[in-house]
Structures are given as C-alpha cells and as structure tokens.
Amino acid sequence: MDEFIALANSVSNRRKSRAGKSLELHLEHLFIEHGLRHFATQAITEGNKKPDFLFPSAGAYHDTEFPVENLRMLAVKTTCKDRWRQILNEADKIHQVHLFTLQEGVSLAQYREMRESGVRLVVPSSLHKKYPEAVRAELMTLGAFIAELTGLYADIP
C-alpha cells in the first residue's frame, strides 16, 4: 500500500511540475507577443536562486549602476497555498516581488500576509471576482503588469 501511495504522489508531483512549466512558457510567449524583449528566465541571483522571470535582464539585476526601483521579478505558481513563501528570497535586491497565479482566490489573512511580505499578486482579470472584495482593487492584472514593464523599459534598446 505504501508503495502505491508513493507512486501516486510521484505521478501527481510530475503532473503539477509540468503544469507550472507550461504556465511559465505561456507567459514567456505572451511577453514576447506583447513586445517585451527585456527579461530573463531562470537567471541566477543570490545564493544560486532562480526566479522564474527577471526584468529587464540578469545583467541589469547584477549591475550595481542599474536603478533597483526599475527591477522586477515575477514568480509563477499555478496555486499559492503555502508555497508562495518560496519566492521571498529569490531576488534580494527587489523589495516588492510579483506573483502570477491561477489560484481562484485566497483568504483575506493570506493576502495580508503576502502583501506585508512584499508580494504583489498578478491574477487574470477573470479570476478577480473569486478574491475577497476588500483586496480586488489591489490585485494586478497581467495586462497591467505588461503595461508597467513596457513603460519601464521603453528606452532600453
């Protein structure tokens, strides 16, 4: 029985891993489709951490002359649950990190904890109604995130 449960967990974890990677690839395609050319995937930061996306580049992240306020990090998680905390130390120079998720809502307490930890949720607009009404105005759509990046990096050749 234990072997069966171990096998079932292994299969389930592989499926979840593929779903997460697929979501990352879809986002990468969307960024390119919307004209974003300045980003890095799985770039190495402090302590060999590898955030899903760094904007505008790994070079800019490690450049001491590049303005820190113009750096962005986007983590991608199909669901948040307790795993959202994993992203907190992936890019130490960036004080507010962004987390894209397809999760259909989080509790008000979890949202507050995320916000207090410097995490800004990026959620498809179609899912905003699944979140507590008190936080909906603070959720960022993917379109708004892309628009912010486009504005920040318009002058980069």
Question: For tokens 């799985």, what's the residue?
Answer: 42
In angstroms, the Cα distances linking 73 to 56, 97, 145 are 9, 5, 11
Catalytic residue among 61, 111, 131, 153: 61
Catalytic status, residue 131: no
Cβ 80 vs Cβ 99: under 8 Å: yes
Beta strand 53-55 with 40-41: parallel, antiparallel or unpaired? Answer: antiparallel
What is the DSSP code (8-state) at residue 140?
Answer: B
Domains of the chain: 19-152 (3.40.91.80)
Could you read off the pLDDT tens digit of each residue along the chain, which spans 157 residues? 555 344 344 444 445 445 567 899 999 999 999 999 899 998 999 999 999 999 999 999 999 999 999 999 999 999 988 789 999 999 999 999 999 999 999 999 999 999 999 999 999 999 999 999 999 999 999 999 999 999 999 888 7
